[in-house]
Structure 1
Amino acid sequence: MNKETLENIIEKESHKSTITSKDIPDLDLYMDQIMTLFDNHLANHKKKEDDKLLTKTMINNYSKAKVITPVKGKKYTKEQIIQMLIIYELKNNLSIQEIKDLLTPIYESDDDLSKLYDHFIEIKHSLNQQLQKMIQKIIDDYQLTIENYQDLFLLVSVLSSLSHSLTNIGEMLIETKEL
């Protein structure tokens, strides 16, 4: 792997599309419409073209686990769709129970979930723009040459370990939060 390939990978990751609250219609949507919304806006999140970002089973499981607020009828509100987007963002690092523990105080408050979610997306985009510098600093500080397989191994291992450490910190923050 060369430096240009790494830069392209980081660029691709940092520019993945998102769904903001403005992208969600103000009218209630059926489950199939929500899955289409996800597929249309988040297609570049798929590793393989036939991967599913969201399924009926996932939505039903989130409802049963009360990670999204109860559905009235067969249509989902804009707020429930935002809840699904938050779950989508968190589910690779946190358990459904941890996500529920994190979201329940928000659901119980009068906080505007749309504003909170959009602010999260802004912060995420800002930090993603800094990925190139952060990874380049690791390469420079530890004199790694990514063309060398052992150095590539070290870089991937460090990034994976950093991801794990950040997830652990998030989990501990959830466990110790004061309600």
Structure 2
Amino acid sequence: MPPPPGGPGPNVQVVQAPMPPAAFMFFMPIDEWGLTFDLSTRIMQDPPPNGWGVNRSTIYSRIARRLQRQGFYHAQYSVYNCQNISGLAVYHYMCNLRVIEPAGIFSTAVSRLQMFHIDHHTMIATNEVRLGGNMATHLTGTTPANLVPNHVPSAPHPLDPSWCW
């Protein structure tokens, strides 16, 4: 039977039933997982009717608090990781970002949302690449003195020993 003209009546609420995750999500391992997202600053900050008129830092703070309550840590920018969690749980938390207030802001401002699996901790290479790590054991050029860790050998500039930044 088609709905009545003009929509469902005033006492009827539309219930949204989210789509279940793909079946393979139920078999993803408990491991380290991450979420990353991009949000449109204009949609969040522009005044209505083209935007929400909300400061973007407010929304990012709400997202951060929500994810941190679920055990995620802030890895960088809009990247949050969580250890010892199932892929299904990450999918659930990712989808629940839609409840960030004001209602509807996340769904309209999100331009990219992804979850990812880090199946081996060596895939996080920050400490290896950072100066002083296994892949950056020495200076490769003139570097400001206060950026050189104490355990990395350094020497004065070869052409001008009094030179500094």
TM-score in terms of structure 1 length: 0.23
Q: Structure 1 or 2: larger helix share?
A: 1
User: Which of 1 and 2 has higher RCO (CA within 8 Å, sep 6+)?
Assistant: 1
